[in-house]
């Protein structure tokens, strides 16, 4: 186990910390280059320093590589195709918790639409081109060709606050990955296929799927990785009270 510096020690290279955060993006095309297990273990060890209410540390991680990854991809892509052919199957594939609102309102719906159509525009997918939309959405279930797929679960006994803890843990993984030249893509798209995923990874009956994540070396030649989402200025979401 690596030795951590004292918690009170100053961070000398603040610019590198900022760069790791601001260079994080949702990569949607990866190289086949494998990621060493030692690197993955290190990232998870670092990420586990995330805070959690009363130090409950509610995260549980499943790492898929090789045959286990490929088999899950095959299963979920087949389910995704079947769902398109027969929309009534949607009743079988429901998320266990609401990631998105049941009714969208501004400004969130506006940002969502901008995100979707900006990505599709970059890829030359026009409105109404359902075949290309389906194919692009299915890229999620191929981990965007990343060699490493991560699945995250939570014990159902835990409260909603544990999802806040989980978010900090996930962010730690994504930021720590940047320090090793890696990229990630957090994926809620997998959640609807939990009934396929949980048995595949050997999760217990008490576990709920939180999300998936693709991890690997981003393909710099693929134009999709040039898609960087905008952020609102600090002034738009901050209230200063004195």
Residue with tokens 């494998």: 34
pTM here is 0.94
What's the average model confidence in pLDDT over 60-69? 98
**Domain range list for the chain:** 24-227
Give yes or no for a contact between 42 and 2, defined as CB atoms under 8 angstroms apart. yes
Between CA 200 and CA 60 the distance in angstroms is 15
Q: What is the 3-state secondary structure (H, E, C) of 73-88?
A: HHHHHHHHHHHHHCHH
In the chain, DSSP finds a helix count (H) and a strand count (E) of 8, 4
User: Of 3.90.1300.10, 3.40.109.10, 1.20.1640.10, 3.40.50.300, which CATH number belongs to 24-227?
Assistant: 3.40.109.10
The per-residue pLDDT for 143 is: 98
| Alpha-helical regions (H) of 2-124 | 14-22, 37-47, 66-85, 108-122
Between CA 201 and CA 68 the distance in angstroms is 8
pLDDT per residue over 192-234, tens digit each? 999 999 999 999 999 999 999 999 999 999 999 999 999 999 9
pLDDT surpasses 60 at 30 = yes
The per-residue pLDDT for 5 is: 62
Tokens (6 digits) for 210: 């939180």
């Amino acid at each position: 186990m690596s030795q951590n510096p004292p918690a009170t020690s100053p961070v000398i290279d603040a610019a590198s910390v900022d760069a790791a955060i601001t260079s994080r993006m949702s990569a949607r095309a990866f190289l086949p280059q494998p990621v060493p297990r030692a690197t993955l273990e290190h990232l998870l060890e670092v990420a586990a320093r995330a805070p959690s209410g009363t130090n409950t540390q509610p995260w549980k991680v499943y790492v898929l590589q090789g045959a286990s990854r490929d088999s899950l991809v095959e299963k979920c892509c087949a389910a995704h195709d079947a769902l398109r052919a027969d929309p009534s199957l949607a009743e079988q594939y429901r998320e266990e918790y609401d990631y998105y609102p049941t009714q969208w309102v501004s400004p969130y719906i506006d940002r969502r639409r901008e995100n979707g159509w900006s990505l599709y525009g970059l890829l030359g997918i026009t409105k109404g081109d359902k075949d290309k939309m389906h194919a692009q959405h299915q890229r999620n279930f191929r981990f965007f060709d990343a060699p490493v797929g991560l699945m995250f679960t939570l014990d159902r006994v835990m409260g909603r606050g544990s999802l806040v803890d989980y978010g900090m843990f996930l962010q730690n993984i994504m930021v720590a990955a940047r320090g090793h030249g890696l990229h990630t893509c957090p994926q809620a798209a997998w959640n609807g296929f939990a009934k396929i995923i949980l048995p595949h990874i050997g999760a217990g009956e008490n576990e709920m799927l939180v999300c998936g994540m693709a991890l690997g070396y981003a393909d710099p030649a693929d134009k999709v990785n040039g898609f960087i989402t905008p952020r609102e200025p600090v002034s738009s979401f901050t209230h200063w009270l004195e």
